[in-house]
A and B are shown apart, each in its own frame.
Chain A
Amino acid sequence: MKVDHSLPLEYGTKQNGLNIFGFWVFLAAEIMLFATLFTSYFTLEHRTGSGPSGTEIFEIAPVIIETLLLLTSSFTIGLGVHAMRLGRKKAMMTFFVITLLLGLGFLGFEIDEFITYIHDGATLQTSAFTAMLMTTLGTHGLHVTFGLFWGTAILLQVKKRGLTPETANKSFIFSLYWHFLDVVWIFIFSFIYLKGMM
């Protein structure tokens, strides 16, 4: 493989450039996926049938904690990529580990939130609104869960093989994915929770 040293490591080979470009296109598709979920959510938001509405089941405290955890993790993965560009493998790995732990914390609170909803009588089968809420949140949550496994796999590879054009490329692409999930969460926070509680 020819490595172009004038570019950052993650862009260094021809295939690396293709991977990053392709991943941006994938993120465009992901935007459409979440846009569809949001559109459906807005359509079904007030169609609660005999079940509870958003105002009745949303609680601000866990949502704020989830938001803080995820936003911080986006910051730490940014630091991780920065460390990677400086060639500091250890610092990069530390920041990635912190990122994944924050992600795990987020997931814990989200699972707890789901359990609370089910206790409050808002299950997948209750109404179109509750089903849509859980599908939208769940799709994001599944993305985070997948990211935890994916991130761990990449960390193991960086540990074993060091910062090569390949591992750097994977880490960078993973950071794009993670930032994207954060952006989606901002929309969930604003347009599902805040709007629902108003």
Chain B
Amino acid sequence: MEFFERFAIPNPSLAIYASMVAIGLTVVAIIAGLTYFKKWGYLWREWLTTVDHKRIGIMYLLSALIMLFRGGVDAIMLRAQLAVPDNKLLDPQHYNEVFSTHGVIMVMFMAMPFIFAFMNYVVPLQIGARDVAFPRLNALSFWLFFFGAMLFNISFVIGGSPDAGWTSYFPLAGNDFSQHVGTNYYMIAIQISGIGSLMTGINMITTIMKMRAPGMTLMKMPMFTWSVLVTNLIIVTVFPVITVALAMGTMDRLFGTHFFATTNGGMDMLWANLFWVWGHPEVYILILPAFGIYSEIISTFAGRNLYGYKSMVASMVIISALSCMVWAHHFFTMGQGAVANSFFSITTMMIAVPTGVKIFNWLFTLWKGKIRFTVPMLYSLGFIPLFVIGGMTGVMLAMSAADYQYHNTMFLVAHFHNTIIPGVVFAMLAGLTYYWPKMFGFMLNERIGKWSFWTLTIGFCLAFFPMYITGLDGQARRMYTYSEATGYGPLNMVSFVGAGVMAISFALIVYNVYYSVRYSPRNIGADPWDARSLEWATHTPVPEYNFAVEPQVASSEGFWDAKKKGHALFPGKVEKIHMPNNSGVPFIMGAIFFVLGFSLVFSLWIPAILSLIGILACMALRSFEQDHGRYISVKEIEETETKLRGAK
């Protein structure tokens, strides 16, 4: 029995036991369902072994949505706990675990895969490619992310969740102050999915640099592709930093080293620095693709080409460079002195300039446009004013002297949610609605979509604007309760109501999917939004080879040129197409990584070593295997093309 005691939850509560039962029932239901409907073979052949960028994109999307709900439930619990003074809903330890997992899940396991979903699905289509440069590596990236996310999520029923915040600062995250295995989960789960992200970075850079359609020079790439290129350059630059930091943190916890300890020469601030050297660029990894999606949507629904293309590109490149020079603004109060603080203060404020350029470019794109107020456009229009407020409070926080007042208060919490929700989440929901017809062949209902937009926006304002005020009043973040005398009660109640309204909005999104699956018409054609770039030039649903004939473009809006200016988009004739074979190795490797991670969390060395050998064996298998892919014949392509054309 002693062996099994380590897997027990350190701070059990009724909610956790209930989740255990729920998880158990869900697993049983999934297995029973798959067996009953005889879908195991379908699942394995069509999804688990796929190397198709479109299917991988859809799997990222589904995972992101599931994680959005997990993180959302965490958020509701936090707001419920703070809704009234001296609340006893959650105990302090439980509260710590909930805000830690909320942060990690929303950043690493919701926003990142959401972005990867669009990168994977859209970029090869936008540049006229057949797939990404390394399709199998792409599948491995996904499975590493997926199993990393699963490893992180089982923490709250096996062994306990991390409780040192999503930043996991040492020495709090060290063994002395975080005694149960929660922080091990943090270190190892993020490590596994981080390796996946790094591989995606390499894959996307190679794809964009080397596989663009003829005629598409760098300055003729659609803006979303540009944003993905810049984002992946940041990923390749900064993910190795978190790899090292997490490895050092893991060694501190598992092997008793003293990197971030306060004894034997250790330096706790080294963790904070390394974390934010990655962590700050990470928020730009999230926001730049969001900017890319807004650029696509705003230009489509304003019916105009994007204003200031070159300045859009330049501002993204400048943002990416500056993003690596601002990390210390996360700890102005930790005593690195006035000179360092001034430097990081100024670089931080400088980021507002290229961001402002982008805002004005979007406004000028709208100027004199024939605006169609569709759901994706509503999100984009809501984004502009709300994000400006988030940006302005960011400039307030950037002033290092004033930051002594704001630091670690609810003001900060309000600020970064104010940038991430209207910035990233709105973009993801806009992108979801915009690309849904391309992905699934029918549109989401516009009326329900508008309801969810308005509830989300109103809920957001109710939830987060009060925090600016309580924060300035001194309400600290990450405190599990406050006394009635502080007077924070009423505004926190408003926040709770806001969180509830946001929850309604997400429920409406789910209902919208259900409703649209049942009632939406299926004969929508390939271009339901009257859009401008190449992804809309192929059929819906997209055939596995994307384009029967390689497209040829002369501007960043090849499809628009073809529609309006008589540009010949597909001048060649159909030839046989080379496609990669499916492979089960990425999935199996991901699963072994999961076992490795789990064994490391609980210091089970023998299974850890065995799974390490398993991973190396998978790599060797790949090296020795001779897989030249397969060809789709001209006849087959023509049959598919006729069929898809007929369906229009």
Contact = CB atoms under 8 A, between A and B. Distances in A.
A196 interface: no
Interface stretch (A22-30, A69-77, A89-97): A22-30
Contact of A128 (B201, B240, B258): B258
A29 to B, nearest CB: 5
A57 interface: no
Contact of B206 (A18, A48, A150): A18
Contacts of B209: 21
Interface residues of A, number: 41
**Nearest 8 pairs between A and B by C-beta?**
A47-B265, A49-B264, A128-B265, A49-B265, A33-B240, A32-B240, A131-B257, A36-B244
A166 B616 CA distance: 21
Interface in B602-631: 616, 620, 623-624, 626, 628
A126 interface: yes
Interface stretch (B120-128, B231-239, B284-292, B548-556): B231-239
A127 interface: yes
Contacts of A25: 201-202, 205-206, 236
Contacts of A40: 244, 248, 259, 270, 274
Contacts, number: 117
Contacts of B175: none
A157 interface: yes
A35 to B, nearest CB: 8
A47 B264 CA distance: 8
Interface in B256-279: 256-259, 261, 263-267, 270, 274, 277
Given A25-B201, A128-B257, 16 more contacts: A17-B210, A18-B210, A22-B133, A22-B134, A22-B206, A26-B202, A29-B236, A32-B238, A36-B244, A36-B277, A40-B274, A49-B265, A49-B266, A124-B256, A125-B257, A157-B624
Nearest to B199: A26
Given A26-B202, A49-B263, A153 B620 contact: yes
A153 B239 CA distance: 29
B149 interface: no
A36 B265 contact: no
Contacts of B263: 49
B91 to A, nearest CB: 34
Interface string A2-36: 00000000000000011101100110111011011
B198 interface: yes
B202 A22 contact: yes
Contacts of B255: 124-125
6 contacts: A17-B210, A18-B206, A28-B237, A36-B241, A36-B245, A44-B266
Contacts of B240: 29-30, 32-33, 35-36
A50 interface: yes
Interface of A: 1, 17-19, 21-22, 25-26, 28-30, 32-33, 35-37, 40, 43-44, 47-51, 124-129, 131-132, 135, 149-150, 153-154, 156-157, 166, 170
B243 interface: yes
A128 B259 contact: yes
B258 A131 contact: yes
Contacts of B616: 149
A127 B256 contact: no
Nearest to A18: B133
Contacts of B261: 128
B634 to A, nearest CB: 17
A170 B620 CA distance: 13
B265 A29 contact: no
A8 to B, nearest CB: 17
Nearest to A50: B264
Contacts of A43: 267, 270
Contacts of A129: 265
Contacts of A156: 624
A32 B265 contact: no
B203 interface: yes
A127 B238 contact: no
Nearest to A156: B624
Nearest to B580: A15
Interface string B218-247: 000000000000000000111111011101
A36 B202 CA distance: 19
Most B C-beta atoms less than 10 A away, residue of A1, A25, A43, A127: A25
Given A25-B205, A28-B236, A29-B236, A127 B133 contact: no
